[in-house]
Structure 1
Amino acid sequence: MRLREAALLVAAMTLVLAALLVPLARLVQVSAPDRAVGAATDKARNLEFLVATLGRADLDVAVTQANSDVPRYPATVYLPGGVALGAPAPRTPAVELASRGSSFTAAGRGGWEVVAAVAASSYHGAVVVRVFVSDAELTRGVHRSWLILALLGFGALVLSVLAGDRLTRATVRPIRELADVSHRLAAGQLDARSPVHGPAEIQAVAAGLNHLAGRIQDLLRQERESVADLSHQLRTPLTALRLEVDATPGTAAIAEHVVTLEAAVTRVIEQARRTGTPPPAVCDAAEVVAARCAFWHALAEDQRRPSRVAVPGQRLPVGVTETDLRASLDALLGNVFSHTPQGIGYTVSVTARSGGGARVVVEDTGPGFPAIDAVRRGASGAGSTGLGLDIARRTAVASGGSLAIGTGGGGGARVVVEYGPPPDPRT
């Protein structure tokens, strides 16, 4: 914006200065010859008076003195009989014409001649006064005046650009502050606010942005409290269920599931009410995948599902929290158990990802995905909520990875999830 404003200002000032300085430059060029010829004419008139009042000896001294005082316009006085006083110069056609009683200004070789005839009785004939103006005198001072005008115009242009830049900067600064606040809000800094200053229109935008940020903060706070309240309401029946399971013999596995469910509800409450900086997003993908596959293995044995898990013996750090990675794996494995018949096997493999991170592949031998966009949030072809794959996808994307679905080698569903490496602590 500043560059566009500066270019527009330079163009406008250039037109204004051109409209002002070009006529002035032309006026200087035209007036210089008039000034020189006028000065020569005045000198010629003074010599005419001297010719009419002085004798020959005094006239010679007067002409020499006049040439010394104004050397730029050499003067010559032609007396009858071919005698010339003052600056040596040949009798030109203009002098010959003036000797017949004429006074005029004519162009000559190398300049202009101002000639005047004087009728003086003491010289027994016509006396001609000639003052010469060279071509250099006709243009004297023109180039210097042009240079001065050019410098003045350039100076005026620079000052106008500097003044315009200050005005533009005063307008652009609030706009940049608005953009910075909008980026901070997009990054999750909901307490960011823009100072309200600048032109009235920008002040209105800043006030509106601040109001919007405050409103978003209020709505998120209400949503977090609502989720926390709803999750907290689930803890009472879960506690009752756990107590009843504990009192019933032979339900150790069910009790373990209830405890896991209680822990999940607790995490939901903590995440919903968390307003500070989240913990560092990093965990060992190999360890988490191995733990979750071991958890689901018991259910797989109950449903006679053959399973194969391939986890490397080395750490695979990824830029995902352990809680989010566990939720993603549970969503992927939960889909296998929920949407395929009992007895359908599955495979889970973990490998290192090129550039850091990990690559997790979950594949089953079931009927595959329905003919819908299974990754789209809320889309489901089996009567579920349609959130599982979307949860896994958002977790992968947040770490710098991706999620892709397809068909496995046995014709069943195949989900490939790539998790990016953990963030560099130095950045």
Structure 2
Amino acid sequence: MRRWLAVLVAATTSLVLVALLVPLGLLIRALAQSGAVTQATSEAQSVAAAVGTADLDGLTLTAERITASSGHAVTVFLPGGRTAGSPARRSPGVELASRGQSLTARTSGGGLEVLVAVQGLPGGTAVVRAYLTEADLTRGVREAWLGMLVLGLALIGVGILVADRLALALTRPMTGLARVSHRLAAGDLAARTVPGGPVEVRDVGLALNHLAGRISDLLAEERETAADISHRLRTPLTGLRLETESLSDPEEAARLGGRVDALERAVSSVIIDVRRRSQEQASCDAVAVVAERVRFWSVLAEDQGRPVDLDLPAGPLVVAAGAADLSACVDALLGNVFAHTPEGASFAVRLTPAQGGAVRLAVADAGPGFPAHAQAGDPLDRGRSGAGSTGLGLDIARRTAESSGGSLLLETAPGGGAMVVLLLGGADPAALGAP
């Protein structure tokens, strides 16, 4: 914007200066010509005063003295064809002036001759001629034009400088508004702008600060509401646990008790997640979390006759995601396997390092694979499933991957089934165990 304002001011100032300086330049040239003609006329008249009283030698001396002092060639055309002063031929203007009329006329050589008729002489009318060259007519004009040009350029420069200062006063607060907007978009809800600049820009800054504050209030309210709902879920969970403990079959009671524990952990994870500040970044050992969740699901896989292939590295792989988030992600992916493949279909979980410090988690099954329309990305749309489920499983996994700085991909397993690949962002091992 600063550049465009400078260009606009330069163009406007140039137009104004052209409209002003061009007529002024023409006026200066006209005044220079008028001054030269006036001076030459005065010189010719001073010589004309001596025509009736001086002889030929005296007239010649007078004309030569004025020529030397002014630089204008002065010639006296006397009756009878005699001349005194600077040599010159009789031009049509001289012939016209010899009839008794003083005048100014252009010559064929490009100059200007000032002719003064002197009447009352015995032999007729004498003509005093003062000749002005083009240089005489334009003396000082070029210097004046150059001065006006320098002045015009200086005014344009000053105008651009002033416009740049004014533009800076306008663009600086607007740049601050854009910077705060980007920070808010990145999740920094504490970002605020310092209102400044013109009244309109200041109003926008105040409105942006008010909007940021309102967003923070709404998010805080949403977190508290979600936490309140999560707390309310503990009451039916407690009743469910009591019902489980009252079962007569100890094995069935233990199995259902494990499910209730998992559900309670998920509820606790929701409470922690909605209260977590956005700038905090959790981390965990993906090997330990994936191993624990596959071990949990292996019990149900054994009941359904599903072969499980688990491939984990020997050492820890630290990812930029919390243990609760990664557990929920793995549960969502394995839950999809059990929900959308027939009993007895095998599945494989592989965790390997990837480029750039990332971690690759692949969950593949031997089921029917994704439907044809799913290859276009439909399963990744929140709330869309097409298979009778809530459609939130892949969305949970995708958000976990993206929050860690990674991504989620849908591929086809080597056996023709579905395979979900998560690229999880790596984290510093020193941050292991961060909230």
* TM beyond 0.5: yes
Are 2:3 and 1:3 aligned?
A: yes
* TM superposition shift of 1:324: 2.4
Alpha-carbon separation, structure 1, partners of 2:384 and 2:328 = 19
SS at match of 2:28: helix
Alpha-carbon separation, structure 2, partners of 1:186 and 1:112 = 78
Deviates more, 1:176-185 or 1:103-112: 103-112
Could you tell me which residue of structure 2 aligns to residue 89 of structure 1? 87
Could you tell me which residue of structure 2 aligns to residue 176 of structure 1? 175
Alpha-carbon separation, structure 2, partners of 1:132 and 1:55 = 22
SS at match of 2:214: helix
* TM superposition shift of 1:353: 2.5
Alpha-carbon separation, structure 2, partners of 1:65 and 1:392 = 109
SS at match of 2:380: coil
Are 2:49 and 1:32 aligned?
A: no
Alpha-carbon separation, structure 2, partners of 1:39 and 1:126 = 23
Could you tell me which residue of structure 1 aligns to residue 14 of structure 2? 14
Of 267, 270, 274, the match for 1:268: 270
Consecutive unaligned residues of structure 2, counting only runs of 5 or more, are: 431-435
TM-score by length of 1: 0.84
Of 421, 424, 435, the match for 1:419: 424
Q: Quick check: 2:187–2:278 contact (8 Å CA) kept in 1?
A: no
Q: Which amino acid aligns with 1:142?
A: V
Alpha-carbon separation, structure 2, partners of 1:358 and 1:264 = 24
SS at match of 2:43: helix
Alpha-carbon separation, structure 1, partners of 2:195 and 2:91 = 84
SS at match of 2:114: strand
Cα shift readout 1:37-57 (whole Å, capped 9, x = no counterpart): 221111111222233455677
* TM superposition shift of 1:119: 4.3
Alpha-carbon separation, structure 2, partners of 1:166 and 1:42 = 55
Could you tell me which residue of structure 1 aligns to residue 354 of structure 2? 353
Q: Quick check: 1:347–1:363 contact (8 Å CA) kept in 2?
A: yes
Cα shift readout 1:79-99 (whole Å, capped 9, x = no counterpart): 67877655x324443696355
Alpha-carbon separation, structure 2, partners of 1:331 and 1:61 = 121
* TM superposition shift of 1:237: 4.8
TM-score by length of 2: 0.83
Alpha-carbon separation, structure 1, partners of 2:411 and 2:124 = 124
Cα shift readout 1:218-257 (whole Å, capped 9, x = no counterpart): 1111111111122223345545666786798655565555
Q: Quick check: 1:103–1:115 contact (8 Å CA) kept in 2?
A: yes
* TM superposition shift of 1:13: 2.2
Are 2:389 and 1:390 aligned?
A: no
Q: Which amino acid aligns with 2:395?
A: D
Distance 1:369-1:59 versus aligned 2 partners, 3 A rule: closer
Distance 1:338-1:117 versus aligned 2 partners, 3 A rule: closer
Matched-pair identity in %: 48
Q: Which amino acid aligns with 2:42?
A: D
Could you tell me which residue of structure 1 aligns to residue 433 of structure 2? none
Could you tell me which residue of structure 1 aligns to residue 313 of structure 2? 312
Distance 1:113-1:380 versus aligned 2 partners, 3 A rule: closer
Distance 1:388-1:287 versus aligned 2 partners, 3 A rule: same
Alpha-carbon separation, structure 2, partners of 1:407 and 1:116 = 111
* TM superposition shift of 1:115: 2.8
Could you tell me which residue of structure 2 aligns to residue 201 of structure 1? 200
Query: In angstroms, what is the RMSD of aligned CA positions?
Result: 3.3
Distance 1:80-1:341 versus aligned 2 partners, 3 A rule: closer
* TM superposition shift of 1:308: 0.6
Consecutive unaligned residues of structure 1, counting only runs of 5 or more, are: none
SS at match of 2:187: coil
SS at match of 2:233: helix
Equivalent residue pairs, number: 421
Distance 1:272-1:67 versus aligned 2 partners, 3 A rule: same
Distance 1:30-1:421 versus aligned 2 partners, 3 A rule: farther
SS at match of 1:32: helix
